[in-house]
Structure 1
Amino acid sequence: MTAEDPVKKPDLQGRPEIVKLVNTFYDRVRADAVLGHIFDQVAQTNWETHLPKMYAFWETVMFRSGGFTGNPLAAHAKLVALTDMGRDKFDHWLKLFCGTVDDLFVGEHADHIKNCAADMANVIFSRINQVPDPRFDPANLTPEQRERYARYKSQPQPATP
């Protein structure tokens, strides 16, 4: 293929692509100046057990077939007392994750996993720091969403017994 005709990247299709994504992403995390120490020194991540959990987690998120069990919220919450778990850390994590997806994959599933990652980053950040989820701030609504919400609020609400 020529420079004008690059090789088309695949989309995420199943476990093999999830393994590639997770391994590449966490190699980048471990080398990252912002996040690496949180995983290696603060959380003292056991990579032999963590990576298979992440394969199962993302496979479950994407394809409902990974068999993940666990509590990601609790795992992150215990770090709040040990290190800064501020918005900037979650934004950086998301940028690194989405960049890894974009480097390796393209397509509907690639877009979906990035959206899922953004949702998880927002939920985990909000819950562990006990702040409102920024996605639900009325100031962030589009004009269409504001109009729809105004119509909903103006409808008569059913009486409660």
Structure 2
Amino acid sequence: MTLSNSSLTDLHGRAEIEQLVNAFYEHVREDDVLGFIFTDIARTDWTAHLPRMYAFWETVLFRTGGYTGNPLAVHARLLPLTAMGRPQFDRWLLLFHRTVDAHFAGPNAEHIKNCASDMANVIHRRLSEAPVGATLTVQLTPEQQVRDAPLKADAV
């Protein structure tokens, strides 16, 4: 259940997406469960990663970010290096939802949380079913495809 804070505004464009992504990844970097995956395992280049995430979430929410890529394949490359199970995905979702709720309220805030949940669940399921070294693409259910059109397999 999401608590409503009437002083918060909704996500309206790129500026709010950047605010959300920056705040979220600050939490991720400090997190005991996820931080080392980004710093030590993936060795994330934040100057490159953050703009890609701005474009990704702007594409998800507003269909204007111009994101192209395959997040499932990126996550699959980490499988031999670290745990990518339900606990990690649940922690990612918890941090994402908490960050959205701390900064935004409204229909777009709720929608981005739903999109994040759908993506985390699809990626987790696909990773858990995949043979090591497989090339993976995201396959959404028909309902998810209608709701989240930019997340089609060849668009993600």
Q: Please give the range of the TM-score, normalised by the shorter of the 2 chains.
A: 0.7 to 0.9
Structure 1 vs Structure 2 CA RMSD: 1.4
Alpha-carbon distance between aligned partners in 2 of 1:18 and 1:10, rounded to the nearest angstrom: 12
Q: Which residue matches 1:93?
A: 92
Q: Which residue matches 1:58?
A: 57
Deviation by residue 1:94-120 (Cα, 9 ceiling, x = unmatched): 000000000000000000000000000
State the structure with bigger RCO (CA 8 A, min sep 6), 1 or 2.
Answer: 2
Structure 2 counterparts to residues 32-111 of structure 1, below 5 A:
32-111=31-110
Say how many residue pairs are matched: 127
Once the two structures are aligned, what percentage of the paired residues are identical? Answer: 60
Secondary structure, counterpart of 2:105 in structure 1: coil
TM-score by length of 1: 0.77
- Structure 2: gaps (5+ residues): 131-140, 142-156
Secondary structure, counterpart of 2:78 in structure 1: coil
Q: Which residue matches 1:118?
A: 117
For residue 95 of structure 1, what is the amino acid of its counterpart? L
Q: Which residue matches 1:19?
A: 18
Alpha-carbon distance between aligned partners in 2 of 1:57 and 1:124, rounded to the nearest angstrom: 15
| Post-superposition offset of 1:15 | 0.1
Alpha-carbon distance between aligned partners in 1 of 2:28 and 2:37, rounded to the nearest angstrom: 9
Alpha-carbon distance between aligned partners in 2 of 1:93 and 1:19, rounded to the nearest angstrom: 18
Alpha-carbon distance between aligned partners in 2 of 1:109 and 1:120, rounded to the nearest angstrom: 16
TM-score by length of 2: 0.79
Deviation by residue 1:72-94 (Cα, 9 ceiling, x = unmatched): 00000011110000101000000
Alpha-carbon distance between aligned partners in 2 of 1:73 and 1:85, rounded to the nearest angstrom: 12
| Post-superposition offset of 1:129 | 1.4
Give the structure with higher Rg (CA): 1
Alpha-carbon distance between aligned partners in 2 of 1:61 and 1:7, rounded to the nearest angstrom: 25
Q: Which residue matches 1:159?
A: none
| Post-superposition offset of 1:7 | 6.1
For residue 75 of structure 1, what is the amino acid of its counterpart? V
- Structure 1: gaps (5+ residues): 1-5, 137-161
